[in-house]
Amino acid sequence: MEIDALRRRLTGKITIKGDDAYAGLTAAFNLAVTASPAVIVEARDAQDVAEAVRFASAEGLAVAVQATGHGLAESLDGALLVHTGRLDECVVHPEERWARVGAGVRWQQVLDAAAPHGLAALSGSAPGVGVVGYTTGGGLGPVGRSFGWASDRVRAIELVTGDGVLRRVTAQDEPDLFWAVRGGKGALGIVTALEFDLIAQPTLYAGALYFDGADTAAVVHAWRDWSATLPIEATTSLALLQLPALPGIPEPLAGKFSVAVRFAWTGALPDGESALAPMREIAKPVIDAVQTIPYAAIGMIHNDPTDPMPVHEGAELLHDLPTEAVDALLAVAGPAAGSPQVIVELRHLGGALAEPPTYPSALCHRDAAFSLITIGVLAPPIADAVASHAGRVSEAMAPWTTGGVLPNLAAGVGEERIARSYDPETLARLLALAEQYDPANVLRAGQVPVRAAS
């Protein structure tokens, strides 16, 4: 490879195996994934990304991209990795209620920048993840039923397509790419910047109720009935938890089976209190953490882990959650089931998430009623049991699953996994556009539709 020639064309840096920076730039949030690309381009601007893609095309290398490590799902052996972590532009335009961010920006940066203006962004449950990867995969957040998908708020996209061309994409200019990137992950190019609308939501009535494991059946059945009655101002999820006894985990939860009912209310405080009241009456929470919070503190609703760990994730989408489905889930993942999963989560969908977008996109499965995810830590003595048990959870819930999955939940690669992320028509269109904008099939690593090798 003519690495020196590429190095002379870059503002950023090149790293290869053996360099001191290599381990840090290839670090995945999921420690079960070990990335080993042949070369890393640490981009400083969009032109660096374009140069890297052109170089990879000339050398016959596959190209992958990462900023925070949350989206890594395969080894990337022999690939060129474009690291966008230094594309850190973050500008809020308060009068027009929109923001522009570089590909290296994490959601918490946007939340903190928007908060002084009484504005907020549709981040996910973990504000430490990158804006771009989350949004291009749809973006399902803790207030999704109220405000919909993050990808539907996108105004403009700047990206380098697989042919090495830097493009600015809007609904009016490059509409095919505007459709594809919003939901299509990295199928068409490497995003260098996003512009998206903000919402006027300075505070939330939000948090979680944590119940003792002895109350699991009553809480889950009640949550199923209660969630069906909620208006669009409410978004909720439920998690069966088996949190380890580690520093920082509250004593009522540490080393025990518990149930968390997460709740976010975007309307008036008294109405939110009334809406949540039925769940507070089912059983006495061991922790009641639902309160009025600044929107920028939205991460406390789910309290997702912030430290990397080796995990296995499984995901499904459900078209319904009848009483029989709750019983089936409790039989395989309830307190008496011997489940090795740390988290088994149900998210209530619908509301604004089910509404068609102003501009169509590649995001599919808007009609799903619930998402289901399992997360298990791959550590002794349960490591070998985690994946097989996740399979048993899926089998138990099969009568109510759609067969689909969201791109960002339990991120994965391969033809079967990608086919589950899209309906056949959408996948066919993504593949056709990839042939047009990436004729050399450079963007063949990571979460992208599988194409025949060029």
Instruction: Decide: 299 and 204 in contact? Cβ < 8 Å.
Output: no
State pLDDT tens for residues 391-424.
999 999 999 999 999 998 876 667 888 889 999 9
Task: Report the C-alpha gap between 412 and 358 in whole angstroms.
Answer: 29
Q: State the pLDDT confidence band at 2, using cuts at 50, 70 and 90.
A: confident
Task: Report the C-alpha gap between 332 and 345 in whole angstroms.
Answer: 13
Task: Report the C-alpha gap between 329 and 347 in whole angstroms.
Answer: 14
Task: Report the C-alpha gap between 235 and 275 in whole angstroms.
Answer: 11
Task: Report the C-alpha gap between 202 and 293 in whole angstroms.
Answer: 9
Q: Which amino acid is at 345?
A: E
The fraction of the chain above a pLDDT of 70, given in percent, is 98
**Least confident range of 27-36, 163-172, 324-333:** 27-36
Collapsed DSSP state (helix, strand, coil) of residue 424: helix
**Model pLDDT, residue 230:** 98
**Model pLDDT, residue 447:** 74
**Model pLDDT, residue 454:** 45
- What does the mean pLDDT of the chain come to? 94
β 39-42/13-16 pair status = antiparallel
What's the whole-number mean pLDDT along residues 165-169? 98
Q: Name the helix (H) or strand (E) containing 119.
A: strand 119-120
β 98-102/90-93 pair status = antiparallel
Q: Name the helix (H) or strand (E) containing 92.
A: strand 90-93
Q: Give the ranges where 288-335 is alpha helix by DSSP (H).
A: 323-333
State pLDDT tens for residues 184-226.
998 899 999 999 999 999 999 999 999 999 999 999 999 999 9
Q: Helices 323-333 and 216-227 meet at what angle, rounded to 10?
A: 150
- Residue identified by tokens 């048990």 is 389
Instruction: Decide: 261 and 223 in contact? Cβ < 8 Å.
Output: yes
State pLDDT tens for residues 80-137.
999 999 999 999 999 999 999 999 999 999 999 999 999 999 999 999 999 999 999 9
**Model pLDDT, residue 414:** 76
8-state DSSP, 68: S
State pLDDT tens for residues 127-153.
999 999 999 999 999 999 999 999 999
**Model pLDDT, residue 30:** 86
How many CB atoms lie under 10 A from the CB of residue 286? Answer: 18
**79 has a pLDDT exceeding 60:** yes
Q: Look up residue 6 and give its two tokens.
A: 């590429």
Task: Report the C-alpha gap between 274 and 398 in whole angstroms.
Answer: 35
**Model pLDDT, residue 220:** 98
DSSP for 352-409?
Answer: GGGSPPSS--S---TT-SEEEEEEEE--TTTHHHHHHHHHHHHHHHGGGB-S---TTT
Where do the domains of the chain lie? 8-83, 90-200, 203-400
Cis status of the peptide bond prior to 381, with omega within 30 of 0: yes
State pLDDT tens for residues 335-366.
999 999 999 999 999 999 999 999 999 999 99
Task: Report the C-alpha gap between 41 and 61 in whole angstroms.
Answer: 13
**Model pLDDT, residue 127:** 96
Any bridge partners for residue 159, and if so which?
Answer: 167, 191
Instruction: Decide: 138 and 124 in contact? Cβ < 8 Å.
Output: no
8-state DSSP, 106: B
For domain 90-200, which architecture applies?
Answer: 2-Layer Sandwich (3.30)
What's the whole-number mean pLDDT along residues 298-310? 92
**Model pLDDT, residue 308:** 87
For domain 203-400, which architecture applies?
Answer: 3-Layer(aba) Sandwich (3.40)
What's the whole-number mean pLDDT along residues 300-305? 94
Any bridge partners for residue 169, and if so which?
Answer: 157
β 287-288/370-377 pair status = unpaired
Q: Name the helix (H) or strand (E) containing 415.
A: helix 415-421
**164 has a pLDDT exceeding 80:** yes
For domain 8-83, which architecture applies?
Answer: 2-Layer Sandwich (3.30)
State pLDDT tens for residues 249-297.
999 999 999 999 999 999 999 999 999 999 999 999 999 999 999 999 9
* The overall pTM is greater than 0.75: yes
